[in-house]
Chains A and B, each alone.
Chain A
Amino acid sequence: ETGVTQTPRHLVMGMTNKKSLKCEQHLGHNAMYWYKQSAKKPLELMFVYSLEERVENNSVPSRFSPECPNSSHLFLHLHTLQPEDSALYLCASSLRLDLSYNEQFFGPGTRLTVL
């Protein structure tokens, strides 16, 4: 499946580093999402964008900074992360923001390790 791509697939960074995760969707969707998936925890929604505007921010620490320059691209800028931020970061997209009748398409994720 190549509808939603994410780079890099794996990332190891120190607590003082700055890095960015990239997500691109080739499905013509209007909504994009960032999720965090940690071991033994449910998928946690971090950010929601609809037509490049942020519509949801689930009390995410400011060390995570999203950017959506257009409806096909979504970034997650990382700085001064903590070891507990190590997780799989998943990007997803949906045709429309209203998920009552729309499914989400997930990317393969970026496995992040913070040392």
Chain B
Amino acid sequence: GQQVMQIPQYQHVQEGEDFTTYCNSSTTLSNIQWYKQRPGGHPVFLIQLVKSGEVKKQKRLTFQFGEAKKNSSLHITATQTTDVGTYFCGETSYDKVIFGPGTSLSVIP
């Protein structure tokens, strides 16, 4: 069945360093959604990518959709302690989202 992979599984960074998580699939992805889940919290929608090669920015967060629509990335510039959490990508397929396993980010102050 469909599988969405994410790497790395965990990332520890010093506050102020950059962070990138990658979302990959062996098949062409229709749309990609990104969510963030703080420790003890619930997933919160960040963004959706639809077009091949699309790049979207939200303050220090940059989201990219690969040209072949088989991968996506989330890059955070100059991490802050408020960025701590698990970042999930998910492929949307009409009535469902197939989520990746997530990348857990910890930020050392």
Contacts and interface: CB of A to CB of B under 8 A. Distances in A.
Nearest to B41: A108
Interface of A: 31, 40-43, 45, 48, 50, 55-56, 90, 92, 97-101, 103-109
B97 to A, nearest CB: 6
| A45, A56, A100, A108 — most chain B CB neighbours (10 Å) | A100
B96 to A, nearest CB: 5
A50 B101 CA distance: 26
Contact of A45 (B4, B96, B101): B96
Given A99-B94, A100-B30, A109 B42 contact: yes
A98 B95 contact: yes
A50 B41 contact: no
Contacts of B33: 99, 103-104
A104 B97 contact: yes
| B30, B96, B100 — most chain A CB neighbours (10 Å) | B96
Contacts of A108: 41-42
5 contacts: A56-B95, A99-B92, A99-B95, A100-B30, A100-B94
